[in-house]
A and B are shown apart, each in its own frame.
Chain A
């Protein structure tokens, strides 16, 4: 029996916009899903249905109003900041669509950072970062430059390299294959397959149907979690 790494039940989320007359936007109701070790689950649904919102609640940058979100045994709905920080440092990895870095920091350091944060020796972390960048076909002459000036596809690959540099038990992937050419897409799919093989629980958003078919075991349609909109 595999271990359940992500367990969500009865999750409700609404936004209250205080500066726009206190408008209340219900965005999610009764969300429930679970992801086991070694499994890759895709979130599907139309744009605006709440895929990214759910993903952010699992990452912890969106609060959840009701219900329970458990990641690697930690209940996120009532976790103290330091518990979330510890979870992100050692258990939970996230490949977002956007690369957010300090300007002027070399790509190699950006990619090695999650390992350094865990206390790995600098040389060892850099060696792992080199291998990962080479695998994702980032030319060596770019390694000492900041990724802020890179093209969209290159930034995306730096982001992926940073996301996969560590063997996270739980991973969240937000469109990891968007804006990549066929060769690099194949590398990313391999990385996902390897992560599954070592037992990572993966939850992702893939607009690319072929990629989804290649790595995902199951789909969860978030349309079912969208609250009925009132006619207002």
Chain B
């Protein structure tokens, strides 16, 4: 089996300030990896470098493309990277408004991504969009409503539908349950877990919520001041943390 994503020596500087430094990991098909750490630890910088939103200063990000096998996404051309972003990758933003077109209907938001990969038959696109709304538990009769008329939790689910409709193999998520109240969060976690299992997706999830990674991620990476201080199996890192910072992080969680 070929790894889906191989990251080697990835670093990103903001001037002289380190964004993230010397990150190495291998993600296999079907694996979900969590990245935790406090604000400013470099989690989002890393995610943006992996997803091609930002160019790293050093290192390689090798993705196993469908057609040409493993390719370094850092050195490929901008159109090639954009094509990956529309097809094999998906990016779920913390704020759904960053990932949705707010003045286009719910169905349009989902169909938009299908059209970007060449779908042209209106009936097919609409049917597929309706189908995906149901899968993320949005009433399909609301297909013509704009996301503005949706609650925060519905907007987040719509963003997930928009992202998954093209059958990506790798999903990047930046605090996907961040701004949601806890009851909605639980439902979204269950939905995400079901989708990951049924579609065989791989995912990289950035969050600061250790409970979320325990339920969703197979593997965990802990970042501090731009560096990876510990990584491994999720329950191993959480139950038997080795690094001083991870021990502090785990012991600081409030019990309900």
Contact = CB atoms under 8 A, between A and B. Distances in A.
A, B: real partners: yes
Interface of A: 15-19, 56, 60-63, 81-82, 84-85, 100, 102-105, 116-117
Interface of B: 28, 31, 183, 186-187, 189-190, 193, 197, 214-215, 218-219, 232-233, 235-236, 238-240, 242-244, 247-248, 251
Contact of A81 (B219, B244, B248): B219
B240 A62 contact: yes
A61 B232 contact: no
Nearest to A15: B240
Contacts of B28: 82
Contacts of B219: 81
Nearest to B200: A119
A102 B186 contact: yes
Contact of A104 (B187, B193, B240): B187
Given A85-B218, A104-B183, A104-B190, A19 B244 contact: yes
Contacts of B193: 102
10 contacts: A19-B244, A19-B248, A56-B240, A61-B239, A61-B240, A62-B239, A81-B218, A84-B233, A85-B218, A104-B183
Pairs A-B, 8 closest by C-beta atoms = A18-B244, A61-B235, A103-B186, A81-B233, A61-B239, A62-B240, A81-B219, A104-B186
A85 B233 contact: yes
A82 B31 contact: yes
A62 B248 contact: no
A95 to B, nearest CB: 15
A117 B28 CA distance: 16
B31 A60 contact: no
Contacts of A19: 244, 247-248, 251
A78 to B, nearest CB: 12
A19 B235 CA distance: 20
Nearest to B244: A18
Contact of B232 (A15, A16, A81): A81
B247 A18 contact: yes
A62 B232 CA distance: 11
**Residue among B183, B218, B219, B236 with the highest chain A CB neighbour number at 10 A:** B236
Given A18-B244, A60-B235, A104-B186, 8 more contacts: A17-B247, A63-B236, A81-B218, A82-B31, A82-B218, A84-B233, A102-B193, A104-B190
A105 B248 CA distance: 31
Nearest to B32: A85
Contacts of A85: 31, 218, 233
A127 B230 CA distance: 41
Contacts of B243: 18
Nearest to A103: B186
Contacts of A84: 233
Contacts of A15: 240
**Residue among B187, B197, B235, B244 with the highest chain A CB neighbour number at 10 A:** B235
Contacts of B244: 18-19
A61 B31 contact: no
Contacts of B247: 17-19
Contacts of A82: 28, 31, 218
Nearest to A146: B186
A16 B242 CA distance: 7
B242 A63 contact: yes
Nearest to A57: B240
A16 B197 CA distance: 36
Nearest to B238: A61
